[in-house]
């Protein structure tokens, strides 16, 4: 899609080639100076570990246009830290936080015309990634790596934005108990493709995974974290070593507590007790907050607040989160990095 045909208020979550992307190579034991390039095609060795052994990780974060025309990055330091943890898990060289954040800023500035205008609900989605490259064939860490960040304007990931979506519990696992679930690595997403496609074929937005050890507790959606509101107005979200520690989830935990005055519980969310929740939602950078209308489990659809309307607590959380991201509401210390 060309720039001229972008409809800012109708954006979904689709690839759009923007002007420039950041590219840096790790060679001879160090990250080289990164450059911005027009070329969106990578030329890599056929033996690259990223192609054969899944040695790669990625991130997702957004830049927002504010009312006064300035540009906000939301908690990029947290994405930098998570990427360093993913690198440690897959034996890849970490990118220092200051390099990561500076590269994000360069990409946003170089593609400023692609940032959706304030008030459209869209944002510029940044996709940093690191891949193992270079000539190799044995199962070992790569001799060279590429760190790149590209971006594109996006709108809603799940259809309807704040309209509730239905999800289905999967009988598959996306990650193993002591595997790579907590790292943002491609293998977890490869494992989620077939269950996700089966869910979509049955008109669900996506599937929800249970804990891989006992299959009795909710873990997360294939592309977002899970939260619910209990009948006592508590904000509850699963805590598990195989769940991706989401930055939206982390932010909602703090906002629920400090701004909405809710008690927060990070713990077990047993699937056979979901009727105790009055609202539920999926949260993530792409998903923002997507209300969960209902969850199908063992052939029964458990509806929370409504299949048509967002619940009041979810709506307040959404207003607070998106207000902070676009600069309309004061952010907690350190959450916003101006570009
Ligand atoms: N869980 C999974 C599997 C995800 O892909 C994402 C998206 O990044 C999240 C959770 C939410 O993480 P974040 O809020 O950092 O985007
Ligand atoms: C994100 O929210 O940034 C994600 O990575 C989710 C999905 C697009 C994989």
For residue 223 the two structure tokens come to 């592309």
Q: Which CATH number goes with the domain that contains 111?
A: 3.30.470.10
Whether the CB of 286 sits within 6 Å of ligand 2: yes
Predicted structure pTM score: 0.96
**Do 319 and 189 belong together in one domain?**
yes
Mutate to test the pocket of ligand 2, among 206, 286, 325 (most ligand atoms within 8 A of CB): 286
**Whether residue 188 has its Cβ less than 6 Å from ligand 2:** no
pLDDT value, residue 152: 98
Same domain as 198, residue 138? no
Q: Which tokens belong to 324? A: 């902070």
Give which of 223, 248, 222 is closest to 235, Cα–Cα: 248
- Is the Cβ–Cβ distance between 316 and 322 less than 8 Å? no
Q: Supply the residues annotated as catalytic.
A: 184
Nearest bound ligand to the CA of residue 238:
1
Domain that holds residue 148: 3-154
Same domain, 237 and 146: no
Tell whether 120 and 248 lie within a shared domain.
no
137-141: long-range pairs with CB below 8 Å, 24+: 137/47, 139/53, 140/49, 141/49, 141/55, 141/91, 141/92
Asked if 98 and 218 sit in the same domain, the reply is no
Distance (Å) from CA 138 to ligand 1 centroid: 31
For 65-77, write each residue's pLDDT tens digit: 999 999 999 999 9
- Please check whether residues 211 and 66 belong to one and the same domain: no
Mean pLDDT of 188-200: 96
Nearest to 53 by CA among 177, 142, 128: 142
Total of domains in the chain: 2
| CATH assignment at residue 276 | 3.20.10.10
Q: Given a cut of 90, is residue 159 above it in pLDDT?
A: no
Q: What is the pLDDT of residue 156?
A: 84
Q: Is residue 339 assigned to a domain?
A: no
The per-residue pLDDT for range 316-331, each reduced to its tens digit, is 999 999 999 999 999 9
Secondary structure percentages of the chain, helix, strand, coil, to 5: 25, 30, 45
């Amino acid at each position: 899609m060309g720039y001229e045909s972008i409809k800012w208020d109708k954006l979904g979550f689709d690839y759009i080639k923007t002007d420039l992307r950041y590219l840096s190579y790790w060679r001879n034991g160090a990250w080289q100076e990164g450059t911005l390039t027009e070329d969106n095609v990578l030329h890599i060795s056929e033996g690259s570990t990223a192609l054969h052994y899944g040695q790669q990780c990625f991130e997702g974060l957004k830049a927002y246009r504010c009312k006064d025309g300035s540009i906000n990055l939301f908690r990029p330091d947290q994405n930098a830290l998570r990427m360093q943890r993913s690198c440690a898990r897959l034996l890849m060289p970490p990118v220092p936080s200051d390099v990561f954040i500076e590269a994000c800023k360069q990409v946003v500035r170089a593609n400023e015309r692609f940032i959706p205008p304030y008030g459209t609900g869209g944002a510029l989605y940044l996709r940093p990634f690191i891949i193992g490259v270079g000539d190799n064939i044995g199962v070992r860490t790569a001799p060279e790596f590429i760190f790149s960040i590209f971006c594109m304007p996006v709108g809603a990931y799940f259809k309807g934005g704040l309209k509730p979506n239905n999800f289905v519990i999967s009988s598959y696992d996306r990650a193993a108990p002591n595997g790579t679930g907590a790292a943002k690595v491609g293998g977890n997403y490869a494992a989620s493709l077939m269950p996700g496609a089966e869910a979509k074929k049955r008109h669900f937005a996506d599937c929800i995974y249970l804990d891989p050890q006992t299959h009795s507790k909710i873990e997360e959606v294939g592309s977002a974290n899970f939260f619910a509101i209990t009948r006592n107005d508590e904000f509850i979200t699963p805590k598990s070593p195989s769940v991706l520690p989401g930055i939206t989830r982390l932010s909602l935990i703090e906002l629920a507590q400090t701004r909405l005055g809710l008690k927060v519980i990070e713990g077990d969310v047993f699937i056979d007790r979901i009727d105790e929740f009055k609202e539920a939602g999926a949260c993530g950078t792409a998903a923002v907050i997507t209300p969960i209308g209902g969850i199908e489990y063992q052939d029964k659809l458990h509806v929370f607040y409504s299949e048509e309307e967002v619940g009041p607590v979810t709506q307040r959380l959404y207003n607070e989160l998106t207000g902070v991201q676009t600069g309309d509401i004061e952010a907690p210390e350190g959450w916003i990095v101006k570009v």
